[in-house]
Amino acid sequence: MILNYNKALCRIRLTSSWMSGFFILYVVEVYVGFKTLEIVDGDTLKLYLNNLLIYKNEHKLIIPIDSIDALVIDNCRSNISIQLLNKLSENNILIIICDKKHLPVSQVLPLSGNYNSLKIIQNQIKWTNQEKGFIWKQIINEKIKNQIELLNFLNIDIDELKILKNQIEFFDISNREGHASKIYWHKLFGKDFNRNDENDINILLNYGYAILLSYLSRSIVKKGLDNRISIFHKSFNNHFALACDLMEPFRPMVDYLVHKFYLENKCLLLTTLKDEIIKLFTKKIKINDQFDYFNNAIDKTIDSVIKNMNIPNIHIDYDKF
């Protein structure tokens, strides 16, 4: 049996709309967010004309590639063709592969996503310490600001973080970020919480951060920057250092959702909650006082770095999540 995308809509359960639904087609299970697909059951993924073709036993599901923005493969038994990988890369589609614990372990990105990438990278190499120190101060300011807004939204005292935010220096040499984070985590999840512990909360946070990092990495390549040339993070083993820098102001999005699960369930299972985390990246956030979809907001942030060596004003409206 072969179903094309439109016919498949008649054979599936759709929770609200195709942009925020959960699709179940017999033995093929696909989550579709705002152009985000999560494959949790499918033997083979192939290219068919300009479509993604998913096989499972005698069933086949066809999805147009131009309707996909990101593909999350969460099935260790799936096979994917090189032809399909090439086509997805040509279309700058983010590919995230998860391990048997359902955690993202790798991402597939094109080597060059911008015709002018050499010129952009040459300018990136010339970033001065003065420029880096200034923009890192901005990044930490936006991160702590969004942490403060989250705590305020949750009716949690913010006085200590407000003081630390006002003390941020060039390159954050006094590590206000570290001090703020310690206070922030204790206020969100209690004084016994530690980000280095192995627990359900950290598993969900790490999953969300990994997806966030992948989105930043894809946009960085698309805009012509080199992900290894960072502003602050430095490691010979980190090939996504720039994405690690630029993701900081967006982290509270993930924190909010995990905290919400924590309050409502007390039982945090990645397998049951990861779909909600993926949906998180279909929301709108405010960039310089204008709401835009998350993908566009990331692109605008990176454009601002390239053109002005500046970070825009990033506001997360938690009422909309």
Instruction: Give per-residue pLDDT as tens, 56-97.
Output: 877 888 899 988 888 989 888 899 999 999 999 988 888 999
DSSP string, 222-258: HTT--TTS-SS---TT-TTHHHHHHTGGGHHHHHHHH
DSSP designation for 321: -
User: Which of residues 313 and 278 earns the better pLDDT score?
Assistant: 313
pTM for this structure? 0.81
Q: How high does pLDDT run on average in the chain?
A: 84
Of 291, 194, 209, nearest to 247 (Cα)?
A: 209
Mean pLDDT of 236-252: 92
Q: Is the distance from CB of 43 to CB of 77 less than 8 angstroms?
A: yes
For the chain, the helix, strand and coil percentages under 3-state DSSP, each to the nearest 5: 50, 20, 35
The label of the residue with tokens 């993604």 reads 52
Paired strand residues for 70: 36, 94
Residue 1 pLDDT greater than 60, yes or no: no
Q: Tell me, what's the pLDDT at 175?
A: 96
Residue with tokens 């397998």: 271
Q: How many CB atoms lie within 10 A of CB 200?
A: 17
84-118: burial string, b at 16+ Cβ within 10 Å, e else: beebbbeeebbbbbbeeebebeebbbbeebbeebe
Across the range 169-194, mean pLDDT stands at 95
End-to-end, the C-alpha distance of the chain in Å comes to 38
Q: How far apart are CA 39 and CA 56, in angstroms?
A: 11
